[in-house]
Chain A
Amino acid sequence: MKKLGASIGAAGLVGGSSFLSSCNQVETVSGDKIKLLTSSGELVEVDKSQLKPADMPDLSENQKRGREGLPGRKWVMVIDLSKCRNARECMKACQNHHQLRPEQHHINVLQMQDADHTAPYYMPKPCQHCDNPPCTKVCPVNATFKREDGIVLIDNERCIGCRFCIAACPYSARVFNWFEPRDAEKYKGVTYNIEANVPQKKGTISKCLFSADRLRDGKLPTCVSSCPNGVYWFGDQNEDAVTNGTTKETTSFSKLIKDNAAYTLMEELGTKPRVYYLPPKDRAFPFQGEIDEHHS
């Protein structure tokens, strides 16, 4: 947590700073200008040929370390449902980071209502990074796998596109690239980064990765740091510390989930999620409008 804590300030500054790290090894055709957002929030223009990867290893090394994960870590996320007002900043930032089309969600803010007369609430739903993941079990080629640090990752250089993992996931956390991905032209020739699953590839799977690339840099996941309402807590279970993406406050993970009667989603399925929810009690922002009827 020390490293993470030290870099929280930087991580919180701009979601856009991840742009640089995902935009590596662009082919050297000069003349093209590209607009970049610096970490101080300034918009600058640089020649495309000048973009150099910060510390991106080659593909096989990237795949190797991507499979190993960050040693000694056990990442957890806590989502405080009483704070969510459906701002959807997390969804936007996530789609930018992972180069997703508007209909593709690594994180999706759902309108929930548990029973007929209970109060509706908003529920951000990322991949649950289960400790007993139904998706990795069924993968025929080991393209999706569980890392030591708890993250369920995808290698879209290996995925054959059978979509068995989509069928197996009870949380509907996975999306497929049915067409050429959003920025296929722009990122042609860019080396694949397994920890951000970019560039996306046609005919392969994608899903939330807890922004594994940002975690390696000691930053919080994109969704966590882009939330304006203090919904997300993220951290390392081994250190028993989670940090709020909005307030940057760090607290004890076990105390947070104990004091607030946290639960995991559909725990009866035995999937053992690494994402915890704090109940939508005493909500800061009451539910607005009609509940979307299309429930399962």
Chain B
Amino acid sequence: MEKTKSPEESRKLLDKITFDLTRSIVKRDELTHFWYFLLIMFAVVGLWGWFIQIRDGLGVTGMRDYVSWGMYIGNFVFFVAVSLIGFLISSALHLLKIHWAKPISRVAEQVAIAAVALAGIIIVMDMGRPDRFLNVFLHGRFASPIIWDVTVVTTYLTISVLLFYIPLIPDLALLRDRGGSDIPTWKMNIYKILALGWKGNDEQYRLVSHAMRILMILIIPVGLSIHTVTSWLFAATLRSGWDTTIFGPYFVAGAFVAGSAAVVILMYAYRKRYGLSEYFAEKQFDYMGKLLVFVCLVYLYFNVNEFLVPAYKMKTAEAIHLRNLFTGSYSTMFWLTQIFGLILPIILMVCRFFRKPLPLTIISVFVLVASWFKRYVIVVPTLEHPFLPVQNVPEHFKHYQPTSIEIMITVFSFMAALLIITVLAKMFPVITIWEYAEEKGIEKEILAEPKN
């Protein structure tokens, strides 16, 4: 934290910060319209795909009786994984008082909210009878890991939304009081309502920091359990490839890799699009790069455990699964995800140059794409090799190939997630203004001053 500035200096600086950070709210050009058009169009196409799936049955997918979970479940795991970054950055790092991570926490929360909301939607889209979704609440059996998953995913979504909203309240009041005339009136009205009559006195700040602290502590067990429970959907079965005890930490470690990569990409997008290079500075990218190296190394360690130990023994059923991954039909996908999603990024990001904004963003794109395919490799190959032979069924039952409907619905999930993030970025500042101002040594009284 910098030392306290004089009121004059503070006012000037605050004006500049507010101006910079409302650019995302004010900016509205051709590209904005085109982006919205693109997202909504693809999302609608995906919804149409879901309509066809409901009408004709899940048979429109490539899934059949043996590979009965496919791309949807892989995609679900991916989204749950990505959402976990919210808890790492805006809670764990915040509680550890790591200052460089403060400007990133709202970006991380945006990712968390969008990803966990979509995870919930994807799982409904995978159901054979989505019309019976309420049965989960009417007849829920607490012995089923699915019920645990529903419980923690909804809890995580709730806490994430609160963790996004509560630190936003002072910002909303700031925008209400000091927002420029270029902010559309309807947005100003929303700020007025959502600011809940914030006055900015010490008591209110004390309440906000108290509430945030409770939420940040609460979200740690919830965050850990959402991905652990998701991993148990697999680990609770007897199938070779899933029947392992390290799935919980293995998934959590992988989640941090995917989530950090997503946050880096979003940081870069905001930096370029809204001219925020002072806020998402080289320093933030450098540290995010270091964080990514660290979580990648942890994940690599779990990968070594997950594959090397069974490969050493080569038990019958495990051996069939591992051969399929190492040299069989999934070997290309398996090795590409390991090399481009893990090993190469680690080697590159150790060098300072590759932690600069652009190189780091490019690496993050590879890491994120690889981590999507990694989930696919976790879900599908295991199901292609059950204990008993697959016989007396048509050829397409034996190997899974996603259909265009599945791809449409998966594309929908990405577009819908990006749409949520875009709306959040267009509605609210992408960095917590009051926290940032505090870091820069601006007194709280100045924040509460109305615009002159």
The 8 tightest CB contacts between A and B, nearest first, are A161-B128, A203-B128, A178-B59, A140-B146, A179-B59, A140-B144, A166-B68, A141-B139
B391 within 8 A of A: yes
Instruction: State the CA gap A161–B131 with chains docked (Å).
Output: 10
Interface-side segment among A131-139, A188-196, A244-252: A131-139
Q: Quick check: B236 and A168 within 8 Å, CB to CB?
A: yes
Q: A residues near B, CB below 8 A?
A: 91, 103-105, 108-112, 125, 134, 137-143, 158-164, 166-168, 170-172, 174-180, 202-204, 266, 269, 271, 292, 294-296
B124 CB, min distance to chain A CBs, angstroms:
10
Our pick among A138, A172, A202 for the contact of B145 (Cβ within 8 Å) is: A138
In the bound complex, residues from chain A placing their C-beta under 8 Å from that of B390 are: 172, 294, 296
Q: Quick check: B233 and A176 within 8 Å, CB to CB?
A: no
In the bound complex, residues from chain A placing their C-beta under 8 Å from that of B150 are: 140
Instruction: State the CA gap A109–B239 with chains docked (Å).
Output: 22
Instruction: State the CA gap A139–B383 with chains docked (Å).
Output: 18
B359 within 8 A of A: no
Q: Quick check: B136 and A160 within 8 Å, CB to CB?
A: yes
In the bound complex, residues from chain A placing their C-beta under 8 Å from that of B130 are: 160
Given known pairs A158-B132, A178-B59, the reply for A172 and B144 (CB within 8 Å) is no
B58 within 8 A of A: yes
Our pick among B129, B391, B394, B397 for the contact of A204 (Cβ within 8 Å) is: B129
Instruction: State the CA gap A175–B233 with chains docked (Å).
Output: 19
In the bound complex, residues from chain B placing their C-beta under 8 Å from that of A175 are: 65
Our pick among A110, A163, A180, A271 for the contact of B57 (Cβ within 8 Å) is: A180
In the bound complex, residues from chain A placing their C-beta under 8 Å from that of B141 are: 139-142
Instruction: State the CA gap A170–B66 with chains docked (Å).
Output: 11
Instruction: State the CA gap A203–B56 with chains docked (Å).
Output: 10
Instruction: State the CA gap A35–B327 with chains docked (Å).
Output: 55
In the bound complex, residues from chain B placing their C-beta under 8 Å from that of A160 are: 127-130, 132-133, 135-136
In the bound complex, residues from chain B placing their C-beta under 8 Å from that of A141 are: 132, 135-136, 138-141
In the bound complex, residues from chain B placing their C-beta under 8 Å from that of A110 are: 388-389, 391-392
In the bound complex, residues from chain A placing their C-beta under 8 Å from that of B385 are: 296
Instruction: State the CA gap A68–B295 with chains docked (Å).
Output: 51
Q: Quick check: B128 and A140 within 8 Å, CB to CB?
A: no
In the bound complex, residues from chain B placing their C-beta under 8 Å from that of A104 are: 65
Nearest neighbor of A202 in chain B, beta-carbon distance: B57
B393 within 8 A of A: yes
B433 CB, min distance to chain A CBs, angstroms:
43
17 pairs from A and B in contact (CB 8 Å cutoff): A105-B392, A112-B389, A134-B237, A134-B238, A137-B236, A138-B236, A140-B136, A161-B127, A161-B128, A167-B234, A170-B387, A172-B388, A180-B57, A203-B127, A203-B129, A296-B388, A296-B389
B297 within 8 A of A: no
Interface residues of B in 3-48 (CB under 8 A from A): none
Given known pairs A172-B65, A296-B320, the reply for A140 and B391 (CB within 8 Å) is no
Given known pairs A174-B65, A178-B57, A294-B398, the reply for A168 and B238 (CB within 8 Å) is yes
Instruction: State the CA gap A295–B388 with chains docked (Å).
Output: 7
Q: Quick check: A295 and B389 within 8 Å, CB to CB?
A: yes
B143 within 8 A of A: yes
B121 CB, min distance to chain A CBs, angstroms:
15
Given known pairs A167-B237, A170-B386, A179-B56, the reply for A111 and B128 (CB within 8 Å) is no
Q: Quick check: B237 and A172 within 8 Å, CB to CB?
A: no
B330 within 8 A of A: no
Instruction: State the CA gap A174–B234 with chains docked (Å).
Output: 17
Our pick among B66, B135, B237 for the contact of A158 (Cβ within 8 Å) is: B135
Nearest neighbor of B147 in chain A, beta-carbon distance: A140
In the bound complex, residues from chain B placing their C-beta under 8 Å from that of A271 are: 238
Q: Quick check: B144 and A178 within 8 Å, CB to CB?
A: no
Instruction: State the CA gap A138–B143 with chains docked (Å).
Output: 7
A131 CB, min distance to chain B CBs, angstroms:
15
B69 within 8 A of A: yes
B391 CB, min distance to chain A CBs, angstroms:
5
Q: Quick check: B68 and A163 within 8 Å, CB to CB?
A: yes
Q: Quick check: B394 and A161 within 8 Å, CB to CB?
A: no
Q: Quick check: B144 and A176 within 8 Å, CB to CB?
A: no
In the bound complex, residues from chain B placing their C-beta under 8 Å from that of A105 are: 392-393
In the bound complex, residues from chain B placing their C-beta under 8 Å from that of A142 are: 139, 141
